[in-house]
């Protein structure tokens, strides 16, 4: 059957980039999805310079249903199947709820929640035809504990749990697993928008007293994407330095 083919949304930056790299290192063919064509091309060139030939990238707004469906159609024509899907694309638009605009609410829902439908629906068809699949959905610590200033993002990340569990039930007998990974505060660009004094307060609340690394998330995603994880489905793996235990 050859290499497993993995699709990672938001796969050229931050946690998504670390996931793409980890899957590449573990022998998968990785197709990363970004939003900008030039950055995607540059990312592919960089991976090839680093010795990873089995790599491709698509620029696609995953909040746009027809764009996502066109992308999956094109991947099917080019590569025939998708074995691993990591739904990682996500954005924040932080504001206290009293100040939150409808646009801040909608943007977060469209990118973080609607993309789950837009990408997974056509990918699932391919996995069902192929009789195999691993789907990993990236949520967040804040989908379970809530976060001051993130009513939109916490709502969206809580939705990921319902999606994972329902889809896991529907696909368990089809050799397809669906799991959630919930990162805590990880050292990525996303943290740049948090004011420094708030960030320091957040780090003080993390029992291990540091931010996580993208690679620590990628390791678990890789395990859940592997054939050997077939008995894990509908689960949530929290990776947050002990900040929230449930």
Interaction site with ligand CAA (CB under 6 A): 92, 94-96, 99, 140-142, 147-150, 153, 183, 185, 190-191, 194-195, 198
State in angstroms the smallest separation of the CB of 188 from ligand CAA: 8
Distance of CA 130 to the CA centre of its chain: 22
DSSP state of 111: I
* Chain residue at closest Cβ approach to ligand CAA: 149
Q: Answer whether 138's CB lies under 8 Å from 183's CB.
A: yes
State in angstroms the smallest separation of the CB of 49 from ligand CAA: 30
The helix (run of H) or strand (run of E) holding residue 162 is helix 151-171
Strand order of the β-sheet with 84-87 is 55-59, 29-34, 5-9, 84-87, 133-138, 176-183, 236-239
Smaller CB separation from ligand CAA, 150 or 164: 150
153 has catalytic annotation:
yes
State in angstroms the smallest separation of the CB of 185 from ligand CAA: 5
C-alpha–C-alpha distance, residues 40 and 15, integer Å: 16
State in angstroms the smallest separation of the CB of 39 from ligand CAA: 21
Candidates 117, 153, 185, 223; catalytic one: 153
Structure tokens at 136: 């990993």
Smaller CB separation from ligand CAA, 115 or 171: 115
Residues with a known catalytic role: 153
């Amino acid at each position: 059957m050859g290499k497993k083919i993995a699709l990672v949304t938001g796969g050229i930056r931050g946690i998504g980039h670390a996931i793409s790299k980890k899957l590449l290192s573990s022998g998968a063919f990785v197709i990363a999805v970004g939003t900008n064509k030039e950055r995607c091309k540059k990312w592919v060139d960089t991976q090839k310079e680093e010795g990873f030939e089995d790599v491709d990238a698509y620029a696609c707004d995953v909040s746009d249903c027809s764009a996502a469906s066109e992308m999956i159609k094109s991947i099917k024509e080019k590569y025939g199947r998708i074995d691993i899907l990591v739904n990682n694309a996500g954005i924040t638009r932080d504001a206290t709820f009293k100040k939150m605009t409808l646009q801040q609410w909608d943007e977060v829902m469209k990118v973080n929640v609607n993309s789950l439908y837009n990408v997974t629906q056509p990918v699932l068809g391919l996995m069902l035809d192929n009789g195999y699949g691993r789907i990993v959905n990236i949520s967040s610590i804040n989908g379970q504990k809530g976060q001051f200033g993130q009513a939109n993002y916490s709502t969206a990340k809580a939705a990921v749990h319902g999606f994972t569990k329902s889809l896991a039930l529907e696909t368990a007998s089809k050799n397809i697993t669906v799991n959630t990974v919930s990162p805590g505060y990880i050292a990525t660009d996303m943290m740049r928008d948090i004011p420094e004094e708030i960030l320091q307060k957040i780090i003080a609340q993390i029992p291990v007293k540091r931010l996580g690394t993208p690679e620590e998330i990628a390791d678990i995603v890789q395990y859940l994407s592997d054939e050997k994880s077939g008995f894990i489905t509908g689960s949530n793996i929290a990776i947050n330095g002990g900040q929230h235990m449930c």
